[in-house]
């Protein structure tokens, strides 16, 4: 997989033998920023509500909702909901994960990392809230794609701290140039 930028507001990506090319409108950056902030607010709000309420419990959802609604991962959700160490992990990871993902998106720091975990959470919610009577695409699936778009477009570089983090110099060299793999979590 390789991605190049032939010109201003143009993009091209090659995956396997398929190449796609596009040209973005100059307002695209504002829409990508809006998506980042919207998802950041939604996750921060949801996570803070869970943290403030205290006592978030994932086991009921995993056992009684997700594992009994006919989804193809029923066995996995039932295992997660009846495995003590996993329930204890989920009880902390879900609310605090939402808070950290939300904060990362709002301030534009570690955006690709935050968007990856946001997409992963939405994928799990997609299967947990399994309901296909109106088709396989629902809000959870759409939000997963929004997270992936935020990551793909490097939304942390649009009025975000990732721009400053990438420019930070280490030994006279920009951080992102010295450690190019950071591009997978920044941007």
| pLDDT single digits (tens) 134-173 | 778 889 999 999 999 999 999 999 999 999 999 898 888 8
What predicted TM-score, i.e. pTM, was given to this entire model? 0.86
- Which residue ranges make up each domain of the chain? 27-184
Answer whether 50's CB lies under 8 Å from 95's CB. yes
Instruction: Give the chain's residues under pLDDT 50.
Output: 1-2, 5-6
């Amino acid at each position: 997989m390789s991605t190049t930028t032939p010109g201003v507001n143009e993009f091209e990506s090659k995956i396997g033998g398929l190449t796609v090319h596009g040209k973005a409108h100059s307002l695209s950056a504002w829409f990508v920023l809006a998506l980042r902030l919207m998802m950041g607010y939604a996750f921060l709000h949801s996570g803070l509500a869970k943290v403030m309420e205290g006592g978030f419990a994932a086991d009921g959802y995993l056992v009684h909702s997700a594992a009994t609604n006919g989804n193809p991962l029923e066995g996995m959700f039932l295992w997660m909901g009846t495995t003590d160490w996993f329930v204890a992990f989920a009880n902390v990871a879900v609310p605090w994960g939402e808070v950290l993902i939300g904060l990362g998106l709002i301030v534009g720091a570690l955006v690709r990392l935050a968007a990856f975990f946001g997409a992963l959470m939405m994928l799990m919610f997609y299967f947990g809230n399994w309901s296909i009577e109106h088709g396989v695409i629902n809000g959870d699936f759409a939000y997963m794609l929004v997270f992936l778009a935020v990551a793909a477009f490097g939304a942390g570089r649009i009025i975000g701290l990732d721009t400053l983090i990438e420019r930070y110099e280490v030994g006279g060299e920009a951080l992102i140039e010295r450690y190019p793999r950071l591009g997978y979590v920044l941007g």
